[in-house]
């Protein structure tokens, strides 16, 4: 069934900003999850600043190499887009370069697949040099086999210039060479930026605090949780992919313990591989963490699928074995306990929280402290006040867990390497 939208929004934007959305429904997929996917796609497309002229759900039985869908259905979709005056068709799946080209020929529209939608959003969001370079690289990797398309990127079309079509073999070859040269240049520049970041991380690590990374589906509330726990003001918005760069804050736990808490980029169903590759360095913050807090929007009917997607991306980057605390966020909103049962099965200790009203944040902090205990169990030293140089040494070279001044001595619980420990041996308790 083709669903159309009200005329007023239809008339307000030119044809090239009006999109017709196609959700594919595979045999094994339930109607409910298909609807949820379409709702998510609408959110993504809205984020891109396009108007939705109409939507349809097309059953996908056996994928065709030419158009993915059968030719009859494809023509029907192209006609609907035309009737609704949509200049963009968005298909919520991956299209091969050939399928995309065929679709554009068939419809006369710009035809965009899911990967490109996500790439475009990342491109819009990228604020730092590193994020911009990473996204640029991912986009080039995506566009390289698609150089014969009428428009390489939506943004170009948004900018109003249609770009010249790479006509003929020679034009295509020179386009390829240009793109490859750009890729090489970007990679080199990225290397430089990453080296800087590695240095920054090393400096942070030289105050060796345990690290905790917030991970989860986009819009789950990771940045909000960082703000609520660490009292910071990281950008948290009802926007998909509000965060592209990791932000780290110090979090004080009970008993004078501290940890470093890092907010990271959100994940999404079918996250383009090119992006996972490009963001590998950023995602390293997750990989190197001692503990992950997996944030789930409990009010989202797709919470379980979001959980699985996040697990899958974590395993893609090699962080699947890192210990996790599952938090079911937005508990202040209505949620269905039955729907969430698989999550409680995966982690019987999964904790309902709300960053909005502060529910259970104290318990979460306790839980973090307990989980990190094993990373922080060191020795207790009783250091006389006149040997404050040794306390300073521990501060410099070790990881302080607790510190307390008592009369003539300072009692420090700390992790230290063997060398430092041997210097302090006489003061061990
Ligand atoms: N009702 C309610 N809303 C919340 C809660 N936590 C976060 N939100 C809202 O959810 C939206 C997304 O929050 P963010 O913290 O930006 O989510 P994120 O996981 O960082 O998202 P990305 O950076 O896009 O991956 C915002 O509009 C928040 O205000 C909560 O406990 N309850
Ligand atoms: Mg965020």
Cα–Cα distance for residue pair 136/186, rounded to 1 Å? 8
Which residues lie below 8 Å from residue 85, measured CB to CB, with a gap of 6+? 10, 15, 18, 53
Please say whether the beta carbons of 421 and 397 come within 8 A.
Answer: no
CATH of residue 78's domain is 3.40.50.11060
CA-nearest residue, atom 12 of ligand 1 = 219
What is the pLDDT at residue 254?
78
What is the pLDDT at residue 377?
58
Same domain, 200 and 212: no
Same domain, 231 and 325: yes
CA angle, 357 then 232 then 226, to 5°: 60
Same domain, 358 and 236: yes
Same domain, 214 and 253: yes
ipTM: 0.99
Structure confidence by residue, pLDDT tens digits, 347-399:
899 999 999 999 999 999 999 988 887 665 578 899 998 898 999 888 887 77
39 within some domain: yes
157 within some domain: no
148 within some domain: no
Q: Quick one: which atom of ligand 1 is closest to the CA of 243?
A: 23
Same domain, 305 and 351: yes
Residue 272, SS3?
A: coil
Same domain, 117 and 136: no
Same domain, 289 and 406: no
pLDDT band, residue 162 (cuts 50/70/90)? very low
CA-nearest residue, atom 11 of ligand 1 = 238
**First-last CA distance in the chain:** 75
What is the pLDDT at residue 207?
53
* Phi, psi of 192, deg, nearest 5: -60, -45
What range does the domain containing 117 cover? 2-125
Same domain, 91 and 107: yes
When the pLDDT of each residue in the chain is averaged and rounded to a whole number, the result is 85
Among 84-93, 128-137, 411-420, the range with the most confident prediction by mean pLDDT is: 84-93
Same domain, 119 and 133: no
Same domain, 225 and 323: yes
151 within some domain: no
CA of 412 relative to ligand 1 center, distance in Å: 38
What is the pLDDT at residue 129?
87
CA-nearest residue, atom 30 of ligand 1 = 330
Same domain, 135 and 225: no
Please say whether the beta carbons of 249 and 261 come within 8 A.
Answer: yes
Structure confidence by residue, pLDDT tens digits, 47-75:
888 999 999 999 998 999 999 999 999 99
Structure confidence by residue, pLDDT tens digits, 286-328:
888 889 999 999 999 999 999 999 999 999 888 988 999 999 9
DSSP string for residues in 69-122: S-HHHHHHHHHHHHHTT-SEEEESS---HHHHHHHHHHHSSEEEEHHHHHHHHH
Question: DSSP state, 265?
Answer: P
Domain boundary among 374, 391, 416: 374
Same domain, 387 and 366: no
Query: Best of 44, 118, 219, 264 to mutate for ligand 1, by most ligand atoms within 8 A of CB?
Result: 219
Neighbours of ion ligand 2 (CB under 5 A): 222-223, 242-243
Q: How many CB atoms lie within 10 A of CB 178?
A: 11
This prediction has a pTM of 0.80
Q: How many independent structural domains does the chain possess?
A: 4
């Amino acid at each position: 069934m083709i669903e159309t939208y009200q005329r007023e929004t239809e008339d307000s934007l030119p044809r090239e900003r009006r999109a017709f959305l196609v959700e594919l429904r595979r045999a094994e997929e339930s109607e409910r999850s298909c609807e949820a996917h379409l709702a998510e796609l609408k959110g993504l497309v809205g984020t891109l600043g396009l108007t939705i002229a109409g939507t349809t759900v097309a059953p996908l039985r056996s994928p065709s190499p030419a158009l993915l869908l059968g030719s009859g259905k494809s023509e029907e979709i192209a006609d609907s887009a035309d009737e609704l005056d949509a200049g963009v068709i968005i298909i919520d799946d991956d299209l091969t370069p050939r399928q995309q080209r065929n679709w554009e020929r068939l419809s006369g529209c710009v035809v965009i697949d899911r990967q490109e939608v996500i790439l475009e959003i990342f491109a819009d969001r990228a604020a730092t040099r590193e994020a911009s370079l990473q996204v640029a690289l991912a986009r080039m990797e995506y566009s390289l086999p698609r150089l014969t398309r009428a428009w390489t990127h939506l943004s170009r079309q948004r900018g109003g210039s249609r770009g010249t079509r790479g006509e003929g073999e020679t034009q295509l070859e020179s386009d390829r060479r240009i793109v490859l040269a750009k890729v090489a240049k970007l990679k080199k520049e990225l290397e430089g930026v990453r080296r800087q970041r590695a240095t920054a991380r090393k400096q942070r690590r030289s105050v060796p605090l345990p690290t905790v990374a917030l991970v989860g589906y986009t819009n789950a509330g990771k940045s909000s949780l960082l703000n609520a726990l660490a009292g910071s003001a990281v950008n948290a918005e009802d926007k998909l992919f509000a965060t592209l760069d990791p932000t780290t804050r110090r979090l004080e736990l009970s008993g004078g313990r501290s940890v470093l808490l890092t907010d990271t980029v959100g994940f999404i169903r079918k996250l383009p591989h090119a992006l996972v590759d490009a963001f590998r360095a950023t995602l390293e913050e997750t990989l190197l963490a001692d503990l992950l807090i997996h944030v789930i929007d409990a009010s989202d009917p797709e919470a379980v699928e979001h959980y699985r997607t996040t697990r899958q991306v974590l395993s893609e980057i090699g962080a699947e074995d890192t210990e996790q605390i599952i938090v079911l966020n937005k508990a202040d909103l209505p949620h269905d306990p039955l729907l969430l049962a698989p999550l409680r099965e995966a982690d019987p200790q999964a904790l309902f929280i709300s960053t909005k009203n502060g529910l259970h944040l104290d318990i979460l902090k306790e839980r973090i402290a307990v989980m990190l205990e094993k990373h922080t169990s060191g020795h207790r030293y009783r250091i006389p006040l006149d040997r404050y140089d040794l306390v300073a040494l521990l501060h410099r070279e070790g990881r302080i867990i607790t510190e307390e001044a008592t009369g003539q001595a300072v009692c420090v619980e700390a992790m230290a390497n063997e060398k430092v420990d041997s210097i302090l041996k006489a003061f061990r308790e």
